[in-house]
Amino acid sequence: MSIDIQWNLLDEQIAEKLRAKLDTKIAKLSLPRYIQDLHITSFDFGTSVPDVTIQDICDPDPRLYEETLYSDDSSSLDDEESDREEENMTELPPYGATENGVHKKDSTDVNMNHTQTSNQQSPQNIAESNIHKSVPNSAETPSFLRNSIGDVQIIAHVQYSGNMTMSMEACLAVNYPSKDFAMLPFTLQLSDIVLDGTLVVALIASHVHVCFVDTLEHNRGDVQSSIIKNIRVDSVVGEPNKQVLKNVAKVEKFVVQKICQIVEDEFVWPSYFTLY
């Protein structure tokens, strides 16, 4: 079953909330010596609507109720999310991103497509096993965790290839002839973002929780992204009218890999993002 998406409801307020969350994680990264003050300046959902195919409609996962109750009773949601993320970090599979193709002109296309083996489960089966695995039935679930009327969880396959964009800024240090001899302004624009994955949306009371479910069979050392399939990178180092360098491949690769890793860590189950 397919549905129409009111994409325009993802307004500037939600975009800023997402930008701030990503920027907080960027600020905690261990940066190479030649990159300083890396931050996200803007995020725009764009106007292109993803293709969404509903795979299942069911009761929300009980663990989402625990987090919802916990967040409602707390004075600091950010602190709780940090605590939850630290607790769940060991549950996450090895994530990351690879550059399978790089086309150099005035931009870089980072393609992360992968080929699934024939013995892999379908996205729906994996989504069901990951989301519903070990979920207690209603008799085993405490009454305060049971869903109320109207609570629902939607599992859907989402394909997106649109005009979503994100802008970043940083400074590149020139360490010759001495350390930090010069600082070059660096701008980076991420666009042509392609997403393909299993999305879970849980509507609980007045809250909307979203996350992706990893449908890849990860091998040791596997660094493929389960969600992001392609990113176009446009970068400029130096002043706009006095460009010193263009398309710094090493910087682009570092930034894209870190962005993909953050997306995997923060938006793939058991981590999730609360829209409202």
Quickly count: other Cβ atoms within 10 Å of residue 168's Cβ: 22
Burial of residue 3, with CB atoms counted within 10 A of its CB: 0-12 exposed, 13-18 middle, 19 or more buried: exposed
Tokens of 84: 């939850």
Report long-range pairs for 148-153 (Cβ below 8 Å, ≥24 apart): 148/205, 150/203, 151/59, 151/60, 151/202, 151/203, 151/204, 151/205, 152/57, 152/58, 152/59, 152/60, 152/202, 152/203, 153/57, 153/58, 153/59, 153/60, 153/61, 153/64, 153/200, 153/201, 153/202, 153/203
270 domain-assigned: yes
Asked if residue 191 has pLDDT above 90, the reply is yes
Q: What band does 60 get if pLDDT is binned at 50, 70 and 90?
A: confident
Query: How far is it, in rounded angstroms, from Cα 151 to Cα 10?
Result: 21
Burial of residue 40, with CB atoms counted within 10 A of its CB: 0-12 exposed, 13-18 middle, 19 or more buried: buried
Nearest in space to 85 (alpha carbons), one of 218, 275, 274: 274
Nearest in space to 188 (alpha carbons), one of 251, 244, 100, 111: 251
12 domain-assigned: yes
82 domain-assigned: yes
| Number of structural domains in the chain | 1
222 domain-assigned: yes
72 domain-assigned: yes
Asked if residue 198 has pLDDT above 90, the reply is yes
Q: Quote the pTM value.
A: 0.69
Query: How far is it, in rounded angstroms, from Cα 159 to Cα 242?
Result: 39
Stretch 73-91: mean pLDDT: 44
93 domain-assigned: yes
Which one is predicted more confidently, 190 or 86?
190
Stretch 24-28: mean pLDDT: 94
Q: What band does 164 get if pLDDT is binned at 50, 70 and 90?
A: very high
1 domain-assigned: no
Which one is predicted more confidently, 129 or 31?
31
Query: What are the helix (H) ranges across 89-182?
Result: 123-132
Q: What band does 154 get if pLDDT is binned at 50, 70 and 90?
A: very high
Stretch 243-256: mean pLDDT: 71
Q: How far is CA 148 from the centre of its chain?
A: 29
What residue numbers bound the domain in which 28 lies? 7-274
Q: CA gyration radius for the chain?
A: 20
Query: How far is it, in rounded angstroms, from Cα 249 to Cα 26?
Result: 19
Q: What band does 176 get if pLDDT is binned at 50, 70 and 90?
A: low
Asked if residue 129 has pLDDT above 60, the reply is no
- Of 28-32, 44-48, 216-220, 230-234, the least confident: 216-220
2 domain-assigned: no
What residues have CB less than 8 Å from 270, skipping those under 6 apart? 63, 88, 91, 92
